[in-house]
Amino acid sequence: MAENHSISRGKRPSQSRGSGPSRPGKGSGGRSGAPGRSGGPGKGPKSGPKTGPKGAGPRGAATGGPKGRPGKPATKANAVGPKAPKGQKGPKPFAKSERYDRKMPDKVAIYGPHRRRRPKNPPVDRLEVHDSEGVRLQKLLANAGVASRRVCEEMIAEGRVTVDGQKVTELGVRVDPRTVEITVDGLPIQLDDKLVYFAFNKPEGVVSSMEDQEGRPCISDFLTSSKHLQHRVFHVGRLDSETEGLLLLTNDGELTNRLTHPSYEVPKTYLVQVRGPMEKGIGDIMKAGVELEDGVAKVDEFRLVDSVPGHILVEVVLHSGRNRIIRRLFDAVGYPVERLVRTQVGPIRIGDQKQGVVRDLSNTEVGHLLASVGLEG
């Protein structure tokens, strides 16, 4: 009894885990299919695939499909059949499509063989005016003062330049300035640098001559620059000593002859100051013609410019070159001239040029002047 009592009141006999019956999922078997943990109360290492109620296969195997997440149906990407062995290419998509069966057309068959590019400018040897030993046309024009070289190139390309009457549009043309005649926009270009052209605004009291035996002021007194002195120039026409204004100077004899010859009828413009007021109809009388001692004289144009108390300023244009013709005309109609200024000869204007100043005519002015009397540069 005592023994039985001690047994019943004492500790229960220890049992090592795994030696007796174990609870489901615990003990030596642990989870189904997994070995128990040996060596005492600690848990042993896991081994073998896990099993569970969701499936008996290894983790990651989904029911009813190939590789994929558990329970997730296979996608289109992984539904494709097995991969081709390494090193062996599978069939190309659209391999049998007619669109991809056709070859690209041959470019040569469409566009033809490659052509050489055209030169920027066509050859100039074909032009009769081209002189391989001459000067480039655009350089010659620039040196003549027509414009800058770049602007001259544009003029040539636009067909505004002719050489000996032939239009030139190529930039590589060379010409001999001693033998050719060049025009720009129909105006002749003076290429002879030995010919000079000046405009002189003559003051009152200066004699229209290069020398004066009486010692009066004359034109040569105003030719002071080295360019003026190295050329022997002469005046085109005359102005009496009391008359002011434009007087052309040049060493171009042919131009001088044509400007002064009556047959070319070069117009000249004057400003005339007379005492006022002036009766109506005087202008019509002067345009109709006034009888003078050396014949009838008339003006081409008559225009009232300004009027102040006691004085009238009139502009007249005429082509006659007879001596003192303006003064004699106004004397004949009863209005003596108080002051007379020539402002223009042909296409050349005095503008705002100061009195006593001698200036070079621009190349454009020379071209207009030569053209006005039928000369070419």
The answer to whether residues 240 and 366 belong to one domain is yes
Write out the two tokens for 133.
């030993």
pTM above threshold 0.75:
no
Residue 236 and residue 261 in contact, taking contact as beta carbons nearer than 8 Å: no
Q: In the listed set 119, 153, 185, which residue is the last one of a domain according to the structure?
A: 185
The answer on pLDDT for 151 being more than 50 is yes
Give mean pLDDT, residues 151-178: 88
Percent of the chain with pLDDT over 70: 66
The answer to whether residues 271 and 368 belong to one domain is no
Q: What is the structure's pLDDT at 229?
A: 74
The answer on pLDDT for 68 being more than 70 is no
Q: Are strands 197-202 and 358-360 parallel, antiparallel or unpaired?
A: antiparallel
Report if residue 355 sits inside a domain: yes
Q: What is the structure's pLDDT at 143?
A: 79
Give mean pLDDT, residues 130-158: 86
Q: What is the structure's pLDDT at 5?
A: 45
Q: Of 206 and 125, which is predicted with more confidence?
A: 206
Q: In the listed set 119, 150, 185, which residue is the last one of a domain according to the structure?
A: 185
Q: Which of 176, 185, 192, 240 is catalytic?
A: 240
Give mean pLDDT, residues 206-215: 91
Q: Of 203 and 95, which is predicted with more confidence?
A: 203
> At 180, is the pLDDT very low, low, confident or very high (cuts 50, 70, 90)?
confident
Phi, psi values for residue 173, rounded to 5°: -70, 135
The answer to whether residues 227 and 256 belong to one domain is yes
The answer to whether residues 243 and 357 belong to one domain is yes
Report if residue 181 sits inside a domain: yes
Domains in the chain, number? 3
Q: What is the structure's pLDDT at 224?
A: 86
Q: Of 213 and 56, which is predicted with more confidence?
A: 213
Condensed to tens digits (0 to 9), the pLDDT of residues 305-360 reads 999 999 999 999 999 888 899 999 999 999 999 999 999 999 999 999 999 999 99
The answer to whether residues 245 and 356 belong to one domain is yes
Give mean pLDDT, residues 117-135: 69
The answer to whether residues 291 and 151 belong to one domain is no
> At 172, is the pLDDT very low, low, confident or very high (cuts 50, 70, 90)?
confident
- Domain of 140, CATH number, reads 3.10.290.10
The answer to whether residues 222 and 257 belong to one domain is yes
The answer to whether residues 171 and 230 belong to one domain is no
Q: Of 101 and 210, which is predicted with more confidence?
A: 210
Active site residue 240: yes
CA nearest neighbour of 75 among 89, 87, 86, 62:
62
Condensed to tens digits (0 to 9), the pLDDT of residues 264-279 reads 999 999 999 999 899 9
The answer to whether residues 145 and 272 belong to one domain is no
Report if residue 117 sits inside a domain: no
The answer to whether residues 281 and 308 belong to one domain is yes
The answer to whether residues 242 and 368 belong to one domain is yes
- Domain of 319, CATH number, reads 3.30.2350.10
Report if residue 159 sits inside a domain: yes
Q: Which domain holds residue 232?
A: 197-262+351-372
Report if residue 81 sits inside a domain: no
Condensed to tens digits (0 to 9), the pLDDT of residues 70-125 reads 555 545 444 455 555 665 666 655 555 555 555 555 555 555 555 555 555 556 66
Residue 70 and residue 59 in contact, taking contact as beta carbons nearer than 8 Å: yes
The answer on pLDDT for 191 being more than 80 is no
Report if residue 295 sits inside a domain: yes
The answer to whether residues 325 and 367 belong to one domain is no
The answer on pLDDT for 134 being more than 90 is no
Give mean pLDDT, residues 40-50: 47
The answer on pLDDT for 201 being more than 80 is yes
